Structure 1
Amino acid sequence: MTDQSHQFHRGFTPEQIDTSRPHPARMYDYYLGGSDNYEVDREAAERLMSMTPDVRISARANRDFLGRAVRTVVREHGIRQIIDVGTGIPTSPNTHELARSVSPDVRVVYVDNDPIVAAHADAKLLNSGNAEFVLADIRRPEEILEAPAVRELIDFDQPVALLLIAVLHFVGDAEDPAGVVAALSGALPSGSCLVLTHATLDFHDEWEVDGRADVYKNATAQLSLRGRDGILPFFDGFDLVDPGLVQLSRWRPDDPPRDAEPGRVALYGGVGVKP
């Protein structure tokens, strides 16, 4: 898709989309082989991939984890409603498609702060019904929880799965990511699930030495990489399901991880259940 060929829906116009700086969601779309990105995103993504080819492997591992985790919470924990915060550019299979492959009655609210995601929501996320989209920022959790679409579609008296997939590493320490998670998860009843992935330096110590994180410094969101000890507290108030908070390729893989792959996936992931 060329920069000029994006179709805009839900009242958004091209002028509302910042194409002067790379956007992490559009860079992620490019890592996955998507076409909903701009030249500035592609240049930043290519620069990072030239230094760290593993970034594309990590993006795909993140996507694969999403599928396994969503199917797990629907099949094993009876989840029938999902709030997917930081959903990113629609890439099939999307969350509602993954969930409904197990149970067709799952309801999903997608949340993202990128108008490009909103622009494609009608055609790619909402056309099957029982799904809504909210344009909002994770740093303002109260706006997400009070959004009319959330209140209309989500019953907070019944278990909910909160998805925070590859989004918290774009929330800096000064922006209180733990407080953000606590505010969102605090609204969820017993039996709800937290599904979370987060980028880390634990498996790629050379990142900072080589200055690779600098690629994101001009992006619309800065990158805050955290170790396992910094990610684990996000699950406070939840019981981690087996195998806990682990490297994504080791979380209930459909196939055994290839020998060379585990050291190349730079994200942790886990699923917690609220007692």
Structure 2
Amino acid sequence: MGAQLRVYKQKISSAQTTKKITKAMELIAASRIQKAMGRVRASSPFARAVTRAVSAVATHSDVEHPLTTERETIRRSAVVIFASDRGLAGAFNSQILREGLELAELLRSQGKEVDYYLIGRKAVGYFQFRRMRAAGEWTGDTDTPHFSTAEQVAGALLDAYAQGGEDGGVDEIHLVYNRFISMMTQTPEAVRLLPLEVVEADAATADQAPVYPLYEFEPDPETVLDALLPVYVQSRVFNALLQSSAAKHAATQKAMKSASDNADKLITDYTRLRNNARQAEITQQIAEIVGGADALASGK
């Protein structure tokens, strides 16, 4: 019984230590979420403004720019997967990797080859373990992303897109990242970044849509697009990095809260078992004392 009591005490102590760690990590993640959400809110208006500007130039001009024109044959697609550098975030990384691989399978079923661009050590480690090739890798900047990382990623994607699928580049670019919805919900999202899609509105939608002004371009539309499109790609990539960062911190907080709750349950269960073992030991000792006293009395 004494050995069993020691085992239960060790397990209770281990669960209490684990709870201290997970509780601290939960509080750290909660403090980082607010900063990450602030960065997302700060970057979203600029990303929307750049998107509207690019859409306006593409819609109100007759220029066939390489980045806005659908290529006749799409031979190769780029899939950019936004994971994290650290784990302990529940299904955050597994769901985004699954989403990226499912998108790649869909593209292959359409007769396209796929080049992977990976952001985050978890994505890089996943591909290395399975000996899958990646066209680009970026690590170490997923917790608090910097714009310089977005510039590097956007530069590599634009270079590959300008090269074209025939010459070893890509003909379209897809982003796969976790979008922050709420503290409890982070959903994987896949969007096509390039080429841009100009959607014509039908009559019913056009009646309800706001009226935009006519545009004049200075200098010419081609020069405006050449200047705007790199900024557009950088802003969309940076916004995806920030969304993924906020979603990761929220997933970490949720996972650590669940771990703390599980540690509480373990402590309660082991405390009950320890009390039962202690009661059994006391009962056994009393029974031995009573048995010994009876034996002495009957011997007399």
Per the normalisation by structure 1, the TM-score is 0.28
Larger radius of gyration: 2
Per the normalisation by structure 2, the TM-score is 0.27
Structure with more helix by fraction: 2
- Asked which structure has the greater RCO (Cα within 8 Å, sep 6+), the reply is 2
